[in-house]
Amino acid sequence: MSPSEAFTVDPWGITEHGLDLPGQARAESVFALSNGHIGLRGNLDEGEPHGLPGTYLNGVFELRPLPYAESGYGFPESGQSVINVTNGKLIRLLVDDEPFDLRYGELRSHRRMLDFRDGILRREAEWTSPAGRTVRITSSRLVSLTQRAVCAIDYTVEAVDGPVRIVLQSELVANEQLPGGAGDGDPRAAAVLEAPLAAELRHADGLKGVLVHRTRFSGLRVAAGIDHVIDGPERTDTAAESSDDQARITATTVLHPGQKLRLVKYLAYGWSATRSLPAVRDQVEAALTAARYTGWDGLVAEQKEFLGRFWGDNDIEIEGDVELQQAVRFALFHVLQAGARSEERAIPAKGLTGPGYDGHSFWDTETFVLPVLTYCLPDAVKQALRWRHTTLPMARERAAQLGLAGAVFPWRTIRGEECSGYWPAGTAAFHIGADIAAAAVRYVRATGDTEFERTHGLELLVETARMWRSLGHHDAKGNFRIEGVTGPDEYSAVADNNVFTNLMAQSNLWNAADTALKYQHESGLLGVDTEEAAAWRDAADKMFVPYDEQLGVHPQADGFTDHQMWDFEATPPEKYPLLLHYPYFDLYRKQVVKQADLVLAMQVRGDVFTAEQKARNFAYYERLTVRDSSLSACTQAVIAAEVGQLDLAYDYTAEAALMDLHDLGGNTRDGLHMASLAGACIALVAGFGGLRDHTEQLSFRPRLPAGLQRLCFSMSVREHLLRVDITHATTTYTLRRGSVLPVLHDDEPLRIEAGKSVSRPTAKVADAGERPTQPPGRAPARRHGQAGVKIGSVDHLAAE
Amino acid sequence: MSPSEAFTVDPWGITEHGLDLPGQARAESVFALSNGHIGLRGNLDEGEPHGLPGTYLNGVFELRPLPYAESGYGFPESGQSVINVTNGKLIRLLVDDEPFDLRYGELRSHRRMLDFRDGILRREAEWTSPAGRTVRITSSRLVSLTQRAVCAIDYTVEAVDGPVRIVLQSELVANEQLPGGAGDGDPRAAAVLEAPLAAELRHADGLKGVLVHRTRFSGLRVAAGIDHVIDGPERTDTAAESSDDQARITATTVLHPGQKLRLVKYLAYGWSATRSLPAVRDQVEAALTAARYTGWDGLVAEQKEFLGRFWGDNDIEIEGDVELQQAVRFALFHVLQAGARSEERAIPAKGLTGPGYDGHSFWDTETFVLPVLTYCLPDAVKQALRWRHTTLPMARERAAQLGLAGAVFPWRTIRGEECSGYWPAGTAAFHIGADIAAAAVRYVRATGDTEFERTHGLELLVETARMWRSLGHHDAKGNFRIEGVTGPDEYSAVADNNVFTNLMAQSNLWNAADTALKYQHESGLLGVDTEEAAAWRDAADKMFVPYDEQLGVHPQADGFTDHQMWDFEATPPEKYPLLLHYPYFDLYRKQVVKQADLVLAMQVRGDVFTAEQKARNFAYYERLTVRDSSLSACTQAVIAAEVGQLDLAYDYTAEAALMDLHDLGGNTRDGLHMASLAGACIALVAGFGGLRDHTEQLSFRPRLPAGLQRLCFSMSVREHLLRVDITHATTTYTLRRGSVLPVLHDDEPLRIEAGKSVSRPTAKVADAGERPTQPPGRAPARRHGQAGVKIGSVDHLAAE
């Protein structure tokens, strides 16, 4: 079954009919539930068949050695890998001693539905066992957005055609066997990751079970607990048992046709690097008690209320493309899930939906996910940035190790230490520091949270500014140069004066100086004096940005436009993604771009490019950009829209939005692409909405592609909730909360007041010129047109 | 004991008095014997104590996995490590059942001498056992230069002060335990390398023993055999026994004072990747038979004759510095040992003197070792280049993998496959191809061996020229640019238009075109047509060489002179070598040079630099060059001499020459620095002799530093043997063989005829200007002056 056939198109949910075994791992990612704290892949209740079983706790990882054929100073020796923790989703069913397994017997019907409005994954199955007995199974699963330690499952089995003996085994299982082995072929890593949990406590009694384990090397204590409410015929027996890696509550009964056995399972997790075993165990038991007290219906009601509020304030409505409507709600739903309750933990590149990229967080979070959350769930942004702030000691240590001042944040990490094993695409990507700083500045601007700014933002800005100041240098002409670094495009590395990096560093330095001035007392405590702030301003003012006068475009870094062109004509489709088929040395030295780099600079620092430069640069880089990363289409959409290439922008928007639903990267099985999902929202809001937030005042340039009739979105800005409703004719701004908010519409200052919508004509694009071309075979799929290209998605090295 | 105190200064040999246990591994390298085919470290006969036991066979290695924290396309997955093969040096002695071990009892005297004139390592010891019995041991060891499979040991024990029961165990031992473990901390590699030999055959009978083993993964069959002549008192019993990893011949007797037991041990090796077990065993037994037939005295006589001829033709004589005299003969001796009988095998960076750099060969061979051997042992050069030629299929495969035409030779290898695990300092160092081509051209010029040129040289030139043509490209102005490559300096990487690389590629391309024209039939068979040759010429003619007009120096690569200066003032001595204390990213982006790069370009392509450019460039790069590699001082010596900085040249010459005798890099324990040893000869001949061989005609510019009274060397050039005798007053050219040879002396054409010496005044340096300065603390030791710097020597990444 092709990815696009697997799921129905429905504006408010995803439904899968039947079961697509080869696509099962993909569906498990799509149907993953999470609250940012706990993540459950959409594995079947009965555990098997599975694509990839997965239960993840934010921040629970194991350490593993990072090996090098040839080592070097500062190469991280230890990596962090997310682990599949104790599985509490398991409810095994025996029907007359025949295990309920969809691969055997006859599956008369099977349906799974994820509803974005209540966040519940529902399932209905009717199955005839090999022995000929038919049962009907319904289950609902949630990961609570209101009680962050809690998940719950409502599981019912009903006899259809005759009396059946039913056994339900509701389990906790630690150290599940994973398919294919762990550790990327490194036997040492595999040994560490295969059974990462060492048993500390096991307990089962009545309808309750608890397991406490500890990771061997990272020393994290993980407790999982289950409790149940069972409702069945009179003679329903239960039993409890446990072993080191298992706790099991069994319910047995005989069901006559029409009779049901219902089991509500509450599942709670607690984990800590420091707290004692009894403390973590008690925490889990307390969470279970609270969950039972709330009850299944109560948890469902809370979930509905939470999501109702979220959608009420933050829905993005589209008219004219129901598939895109579904995809963008899917995107928003998963971005919400990833960030909602991450609370001083990282938001990984895959959220908690799969083990891809080892569960690491990258710049994806600050660059793609947080810009979306800033205007819909600002508290999640605060939490994510507070997490970065907690890692400052590690980032300072890393800076010292690298001979730099301030803080060097890791390119990839779970806890905060650098885990990148290939420095040209890891350590050298210093822009992560500026990405974090920009996210903090955007958050403060959007929320007015000066308390955060004073207590956390300032220090993030100061320490990253210090890093930039020590990384760069003034040349003989006084220009400030940043050399030997890697920008967003991973098909170039270790270049001088990457435009994106230099411009982001420039903002970082200016913002640090401004914020230090604003909080003189606090910045003084951080050791900032006027000389230091002046040095930041000086570096920022003199920041060097290369420009190729001859071609009239910005090289993405010094000398880039002098490089040999990649021979796209001689590159057949099966050689994409290029990094799996060509050596880095060849990619690095030629003009070929994996993902938006200079084009991203034109989005995030659009203020320093003229409209003509944007159009010329965009056209130039379109010809070079192969999109071997899912972190590209959304940015290309935004700039395509800005330069008036609305159809192209539309194509890119759809690509970003359908990345996972259509499995465009071919690796949705390992988890969802949070940056691309968030990017789809960015493409709509910053692309067709034309939102820019370079200054205190939001600015819009709404333009709609022919394929869409209407685009409507809302944004929380401080105490305001602004609604922007765009049709081809008119754009209407309404304040749904707050009193008055000034915005810019096509550079015209508007004052949006409570109760008074302001409408302006939506501008038409006069003549944007020819549609820019992409490398042969790398054009995005035409929306409502011919089939598109399979894009390869390897967002983060290493090649997998 | 400091390294310089360990050995006596003697113009024709090295003597060690006593035993310096901490310096033992260093002495084992210094006293290593080899013929290029077999290498025996200078381990004590009795095996222990040892620094590092070592017996190496050229080309015998084991495969081991190369791990990557993050892998990438084209990263080699398998490495090759030289292994310590079956040890046949072992002769254990029991004195009244007390093992002869220098660490116990009383060592009354101990002396080891290596004589460069006969290549024999002699040893004399007088030892009183803990039980009070004194014996005198003398032994002599040789690795035959005439019978390449053969080594021999003449071992005598004499009773001094009373009757003693003597047991001599002469052994072959496979899979010796090595101190410290193998495999650089990678347990997988360690597992492979710890006991690399799997037993296939064992045999001991009479006075003979044979062991045949096979390496597990590389599949090489290794046979070792011993045979003996024993001469002792009437009742001397012998026994033979064997096990899988051991063959032992035991001789027992009782010696009365003055009585001796003498054992002559013949040791032979044979190895093959293809030949059968009986074939390899028979080969070893045949070699033993030949050795016995020749006898110890015969082997010694052959050795003396071989070396007598070598020194007669190739000695470098120095007056005024006996330490340097010793060092340069030591150097020539070891270079001879490394190359004499390597016969279609590689010459590793450490020769066969130790396991350093995994036993790999690098560009060291073609760039430093072969230029010396070309004029004294040209047949060794032919053999080494024939080895490169045999690896062409692998080099072509590598080129195809990298998307290039022609052949890409490995940066480091034993058999021919790339074994570099860090591509920016491995694969990217494409200059290896041009280094090989240049060595082939030099060999043909010096010998007139057109048969080699036609059958081997042509193909090496064609395949490397093809590589360059596909690696570089013509830019819009028509210039030919080579981008994204690494030059000799490993503190820069992946830069554009490295001057050394571009100039070497230029010669390579021109020479390929010329040679193809010379051999039209053969080049046609290789597919070369006039269009291809024209493209080579075109690329070479338009080769881009960057020049910094403002500073008036050549940047070693594009943009180098714009980079930030390394902060040498803030770099304390203990932070050298820098690569062990600073990250690559920081080294790469700043002006700091590990080893001669642009300066080496000025030596090998001196024809394209003006005298003024040489002086300016040299002074500029002196300030940046830290010599964290032993592949630097010799080149700096050559250019220092050329620009008239004779005292500085003298200091660098001494550093190159004393690299191992004074253990300046601190790692002589792992094997000798063949390139530095050869470099010492280059420093003298090309530095003070001023030899350049850019064209058919040798040219000289003799200049002597104040510290030397005379320098005299000879060179084989085709059928000629030219002697150059330099004093401060006069330089005299004499033809010792051949009829007539034109040379240039200070640009004056001279015609040297048989029997007629030609003398010319040795020029004085008028005014070379101020002595260039080095980074603080990195000046070379002043010869006859203050103590110098300890240079760090990490010639080849990775950091160890």
**Distance separating alpha carbons of residues A338 and A390, to the nearest angstrom:** 19
> Would the CB atoms of A583 and B79 count as touching at under 8 Å?
no
> Would the CB atoms of A798 and B427 count as touching at under 8 Å?
no
Closest CA to A436 of A531, A505, A499, A356: A505
Which of A73, A583, A797 lies at the smallest CB-CB distance from B799? A73
CB-based contact A154:A174 (threshold 8 Å): no
Exposed, middle or buried: residue B524 (CB in 10 Å: 0-12, 13-18, 19+)? exposed
pLDDT tens string B591-622 = 999 999 999 999 999 999 999 999 999 999 99
Closest CA to B492 of B572, B579, B432: B579
| Average pLDDT over every residue of B342-358 | 95
Comparing alpha-carbon positions, the chain A residue that sits nearest to B72 is A799
Helix axes B458-471, B530-541, angle to 10 degrees: 60
Poorest-confidence range of A185-189, A351-355, B223-227?
A185-189
State the pLDDT confidence band at A729, using cuts at 50, 70 and 90. very high
Site from A585, A590, A628 to mutate, B interface, most B CB atoms within 10 angstroms: A585
pLDDT tens string A383-431 = 999 999 999 999 999 999 999 999 999 999 999 999 999 999 999 999 9
CB-based contact B564:B591 (threshold 8 Å): yes
State the pLDDT confidence band at A340, using cuts at 50, 70 and 90. very high
Cβ contacts of A426 on chain B, cutoff 8 Å: 70
Locate the DSSP E strands across A627-706: 699-700
Phi, psi for residue B495 in degrees, rounded to 5: -115, 170
**Does A56 score more than 70 pLDDT?**
yes
Comparing alpha-carbon positions, the chain B residue that sits nearest to A185 is B67
**In A349-385, which positions are buried (b, 16+ CB within 10 angstroms) versus exposed (e)?**
bbbbbbbbbbbbbbbbbbbbbbbbbbbbbbebbbbbb
State the pLDDT confidence band at B264, using cuts at 50, 70 and 90. very high
| Average pLDDT over every residue of A362-388 | 97
Site from B70, B71, B432, B561 to mutate, A interface, most A CB atoms within 10 angstroms: B70
Comparing alpha-carbon positions, the chain B residue that sits nearest to A565 is B473
**Distance separating alpha carbons of residues A747 and A420, to the nearest angstrom:** 43
Q: Specify the pLDDT at position B765.
A: 87
Q: How many CB pairs under 8 A join A and B?
A: 166
SS (H, E, C) B138-189: EEEEEECCCCCCEEEEEEEEEECCCCEEEEEEEEEECCCCCCCCCCCCCHHH
DSSP A453: I
**Does B248 score more than 90 pLDDT?**
yes
**Does A788 score more than 90 pLDDT?**
no
**Does A798 score more than 60 pLDDT?**
no
pLDDT tens string B82-104 = 999 999 999 999 999 899 999 99
DSSP B625: B
What DSSP element (H or E) covers B221? strand B221-231
Comparing alpha-carbon positions, the chain B residue that sits nearest to A183 is B69
Query: Which domains are assigned to chain B?
Result: 3-291+303-313 (2.70.98.40), 316-727 (1.50.10.10)
Q: Measured in Å, how far apart are chain A's first and last C-alpha atoms?
A: 24
Q: Residue A215: helix, strand or coil by DSSP?
A: strand
Amino acid occupying residue B729: A
> Would the CB atoms of A422 and B70 count as touching at under 8 Å?
yes
CB-based contact B379:B385 (threshold 8 Å): no
CB-based contact B641:B688 (threshold 8 Å): yes
> Would the CB atoms of B72 and A424 count as touching at under 8 Å?
no
Q: Specify the pLDDT at position A800.
A: 39
Exposed, middle or buried: residue B5 (CB in 10 Å: 0-12, 13-18, 19+)? exposed
Comparing alpha-carbon positions, the chain B residue that sits nearest to A800 is B71
Q: In what order do the strands lie in the sheet with B758-761?
A: B317-319, B710-717, B720-727, B730-737, B758-761
Exposed, middle or buried: residue B619 (CB in 10 Å: 0-12, 13-18, 19+)? middle
pLDDT tens string B130-164 = 999 999 999 999 999 999 999 999 999 999 998 99
| Average pLDDT over every residue of B727-751 | 97
Average pLDDT value for chain B: 95
CA distance A327 to chain B (A): 33
Report whether A364 belongs to an annotated binding site: yes
Helix axes B392-401, B378-390, angle to 10 degrees: 50
Q: Which residues contact A465 (CB under 8 A, 6 or more apart)?
A: A406, A437, A508, A509, A511, A512, A513, A536
> Would the CB atoms of B585 and A494 count as touching at under 8 Å?
yes
| Average pLDDT over every residue of A280-285 | 97
Which of A496, A564, A581 lies at the smallest CB-CB distance from B73? A581
What DSSP element (H or E) covers A164? strand A164-173
Q: For chain B, what is the radius of gyration of the CA atoms?
A: 27
Q: Which residues contact A279 (CB under 8 A, 6 or more apart)?
A: A272
State the pLDDT confidence band at A181, using cuts at 50, 70 and 90. low
Cβ contacts of B184 on chain A, cutoff 8 Å: 71
**Distance separating alpha carbons of residues B384 and A31, to the nearest angstrom:** 63
- Residue in the block written with tokens 């319910």: A251
**Distance separating alpha carbons of residues B69 and A75, to the nearest angstrom:** 10
B323, B490, B622, B655: the catalytic one is B490
Which of A70, A403, A588 lies at the smallest CB-CB distance from B421? A70
pLDDT tens string A477-512 = 999 999 999 999 999 999 999 999 999 999 999 999
Residue A478 to residues A467, A470, A539, A547, B547: CA-CA distances in angstroms? 19, 15, 9, 17, 22
pLDDT tens string A306-320 = 999 999 999 999 999
> Would the CB atoms of B798 and A420 count as touching at under 8 Å?
no
| Average pLDDT over every residue of B713-723 | 97
**Residue A80: CA count within 13 A, CB half-sphere:** 21
**Does A186 score more than 60 pLDDT?**
no
Report whether B208 belongs to an annotated binding site: no
> Would the CB atoms of A72 and B424 count as touching at under 8 Å?
no
**Does B192 score more than 90 pLDDT?**
no
Q: Specify the pLDDT at position A3.
A: 72
State the pLDDT confidence band at A580, using cuts at 50, 70 and 90. very high
> Would the CB atoms of A564 and B420 count as touching at under 8 Å?
no
Which of B73, B564, B584 lies at the smallest CB-CB distance from A473? B564
Cβ contacts of A76 on chain B, cutoff 8 Å: 69
| Average pLDDT over every residue of B338-361 | 95
State the pLDDT confidence band at A793, using cuts at 50, 70 and 90. low
Report whether B514 belongs to an annotated binding site: no
**Distance separating alpha carbons of residues A664 and A332, to the nearest angstrom:** 18
Residue A673 to residues A355, A603, A659, A760: CA-CA distances in angstroms? 12, 21, 7, 36
Q: Which two tokens stand for residue A682?
A: 């960015």
Q: Specify the pLDDT at position B799.
A: 42
| Average pLDDT over every residue of A519-545 | 98
Q: Specify the pLDDT at position A179.
A: 82
CB-based contact A169:A92 (threshold 8 Å): yes
Closest CA to A770 of A645, A650, A646: A645
Q: Residue A212: helix, strand or coil by DSSP?
A: strand
| Average pLDDT over every residue of B57-71 | 94
Poorest-confidence range of A373-382, A780-789, B75-84, B444-453?
A780-789
DSSP B453: I
**Distance separating alpha carbons of residues B174 and B243, to the nearest angstrom:** 10
CB-based contact A355:A693 (threshold 8 Å): no
**Distance separating alpha carbons of residues B70 and A186, to the nearest angstrom:** 11
Report whether A506 belongs to an annotated binding site: no
> Would the CB atoms of A799 and B564 count as touching at under 8 Å?
no
Q: Specify the pLDDT at position A653.
A: 98
> Would the CB atoms of B589 and A496 count as touching at under 8 Å?
yes
Q: For chain A, what is the radius of gyration of the CA atoms?
A: 27
A323, A490, A532, A642: the catalytic one is A490
Poorest-confidence range of A388-392, B338-342, B458-462?
B338-342
Site from A186, A588, A589, A795 to mutate, B interface, most B CB atoms within 10 angstroms: A589
Phi, psi for residue A446 in degrees, rounded to 5: -75, -25
pLDDT tens string A15-48 = 999 989 999 999 999 999 999 999 999 999 999 9
Q: Specify the pLDDT at position B179.
A: 82
Residue A229 to residues A88, A155, A156: CA-CA distances in angstroms? 15, 10, 12
B486 vs A181, more confident: B486
Q: Which residues contact B2 (CB under 8 A, 6 or more apart)?
A: none
CB-based contact B644:B768 (threshold 8 Å): yes
Which of A69, A425, A582 lies at the smallest CB-CB distance from B66? A69
Cβ contacts of A475 on chain B, cutoff 8 Å: 562
CA distance B182 to chain A (A): 14
> Would the CB atoms of A585 and B798 count as touching at under 8 Å?
no
CA distance B401 to chain A (A): 8
> Would the CB atoms of B589 and A402 count as touching at under 8 Å?
no
Closest CA to B446 of B157, B697, B661: B697
**Does A535 score more than 90 pLDDT?**
yes
ipTM of the complex: 0.90
Phi, psi for residue A612 in degrees, rounded to 5: -65, -40
CA distance B131 to chain A (A): 50
B200 in catalytic set? no
State the pLDDT confidence band at A4, using cuts at 50, 70 and 90. confident
CB-based contact A403:B586 (threshold 8 Å): yes
Cβ contacts of B586 on chain A, cutoff 8 Å: 402-403, 484
Q: Residue B34: helix, strand or coil by DSSP?
A: strand
Cβ contacts of B473 on chain A, cutoff 8 Å: 564
Which of A69, A585, A590 lies at the smallest CB-CB distance from B68? A69
Q: Specify the pLDDT at position A786.
A: 42
Exposed, middle or buried: residue A589 (CB in 10 Å: 0-12, 13-18, 19+)? buried
Percent of chain A with pLDDT over 70: 97
Q: Specify the pLDDT at position A23.
A: 94
**Does A795 score more than 90 pLDDT?**
no
State the pLDDT confidence band at B767, using cuts at 50, 70 and 90. confident
pTM to 2 decimals? 0.94
Q: Measured in Å, how far apart are chain B's first and last C-alpha atoms?
A: 24
> Would the CB atoms of B582 and A403 count as touching at under 8 Å?
yes
Exposed, middle or buried: residue A535 (CB in 10 Å: 0-12, 13-18, 19+)? middle
**Does A359 score more than 50 pLDDT?**
yes
CB-based contact A504:A434 (threshold 8 Å): yes
Q: Specify the pLDDT at position A194.
A: 83
Comparing alpha-carbon positions, the chain B residue that sits nearest to A67 is B69
Percent of chain A with pLDDT over 90: 92
